[in-house]
Amino acid sequence: MARKKVKLAWIANDSTRKVTFKKRKRGLIKKVSELATLCDVKACLILYGTQDQHPSVWPSFQEAARVLNEFRSMPEMEQCKKMMNQEDFLFLRIAKLQEQFRKQDRENRELETSLLMYEGLAGRSLHDVGIEDATSLSWMVEMKTQLVYDRMEHLRKENLASREVEPKMHVPQTVATEKTPMQVAMEELQRQNWFMEVGSTSDQKVKFGSGDEVLPPYNGHCSPWLDPYFPLN
């Protein structure tokens, strides 16, 4: 079962106030003890009660006096670095709440303007819109339009960048050169089987009778189609 939220106000009933003070004092001492143990910090607690003749001190008078003397020996700037009284705490709390209120009010205004813009796109007449709402609507339309233009420009740059990164296909180009008569004749000879056979046996020895003799070098030809390429002297 959830605990009932306690109203932070002065308790008028004396007995109730005393009981609450004792409970909260024990809880406060427990919290300070846990903080000193868990975080290994030097801490002390001095608590004055309206009905007590002596203040409640934790952990002891000697330890509390040592911590206070160490604190007072520090420079004044260090002492006041994170110090805050009740008035400063309230001012800080009020400033935070005001900032939260302004932020929430700005979000509500943006939602109302967006709703008005969508209603206008749906066909609602905007003749009855006030000057403040019209100004907010104009600002939102310009902002949305600029976002669309920025998105289009971003996509266009990405498209151009992707085209530049794509590897270009390298197509080798062959340059046609005119063949000489000698090259044409040699290609024609290579297509003839008898020429390849003769060339393979040109350097071999041929037997005639009982001895081996070398064929004499070939000085002429008997093919008339070679005349244009090998004219006789």
Q: How far apart, in Å, are the Cα atoms of 194 and each of 41, 65, 157, 199, 222?
A: 109, 124, 67, 9, 14
Cβ 51 vs Cβ 64: under 8 Å: no
Reported as a pLDDT band with limits 50, 70 and 90, residue 214 is: very low
Residue 54: helix, strand or coil by DSSP? coil
Tell me the average pLDDT across 25-37.
93
Distance from the first to the final alpha carbon of the chain:
128
pLDDT tens, position by position, 56-85: 899 999 999 999 999 889 888 887 777 778
Report H helices in the chain: 14-39, 61-72, 76-79, 86-121, 131-165, 181-190, 193-200
pLDDT tens, position by position, 136-192: 888 888 988 999 999 999 999 988 888 877 655 555 555 556 667 667 666 765 665
What is the residue-averaged pLDDT of the chain? 78
Whether omega before 231 lies within 30 degrees of 0, making that bond cis, reads: no
Tell me the average pLDDT across 46-59.
86
Among residues 109, 102, 100, 99, the alpha carbon closest in space to that of 140 is found at 109
Tell me the average pLDDT across 14-42.
92
Position 11 pLDDT exceeds 50: yes
The pLDDT value recorded for residue 124 is 83
Would the pTM count as exceeding 0.95?
no
Return the bridge partners of 206, or none. Answer: 213
Cβ 116 vs Cβ 125: under 8 Å: no
Give the CB-side neighbour count of residue 134, counting CA atoms within 13 A: 7
Residue located via tokens 């939602």 = 111
Tell me the average pLDDT across 42-49.
90
Q: Which residue has the higher pLDDT, 192 or 213?
A: 192
Return the bridge partners of 56, or none. Answer: 47
- Beta strands, E only, the chain: 45-47, 56-58, 206-208, 211-213
> What percent of the chain lies above the pLDDT cut of 90?
27
> What percent of the chain lies above the pLDDT cut of 70?
71
Residue 56: helix, strand or coil by DSSP? strand
Tell me the average pLDDT across 21-31.
92
Cβ 120 vs Cβ 141: under 8 Å: no
Q: Which two tokens stand for residue 50?
A: 């309206």
pLDDT tens, position by position, 83-103: 778 888 899 899 999 999 999
Task: Indicate the length of the chain as a whole number.
Answer: 233
Tell me the average pLDDT across 199-222.
47
